[in-house]
Structure 1
Amino acid sequence: MFSREIVPVAPEAVGIHRDRLSQAVDVLRSGVGSSFPGATLCAFRKDKCFLDLAFGTRGGNSPAKLESL
């Protein structure tokens, strides 16, 4: 069996600037909708693209078709 060990790494070690990381955490805490009204987010899972509009119409659960991108 493989063991997965979580190893803490400084953001700078993987090329992430602390200010950008802090801003991203703030956005997640306050909600994408309030930080970026009307924004659309895309995520890929198992070669499928999922859309999540910041105002919540898709919720990230419905696979998006190419035409909707």
Structure 2
Amino acid sequence: MTTPADMSHAMLVAILMHHGGSLDLPAGAFTPDALGGMDGAFHAVGMEPLPGTGMIRISVQPRPAGDDGGITRL
């Protein structure tokens, strides 16, 4: 079974591989405000195909409250 953590890891690896295996980010990209909400939970990630393009959009999504987050297939 694929977990949300597995999918997050896979998306990160896909992004890095698409950029030649590495990507330079400013340290500010890892501040608590950039990574999550005020409750300390990390933001969620959405992944959706862009019809007719062969592309996939990866985006930050509001995280569901509590532990209800998981993989949802649309």
| TM-score, normalization by structure 1 | 0.30
Which structure's CA Rg is the greater one?
1
Higher relative contact order (CA 8 A, sep 6+): 2
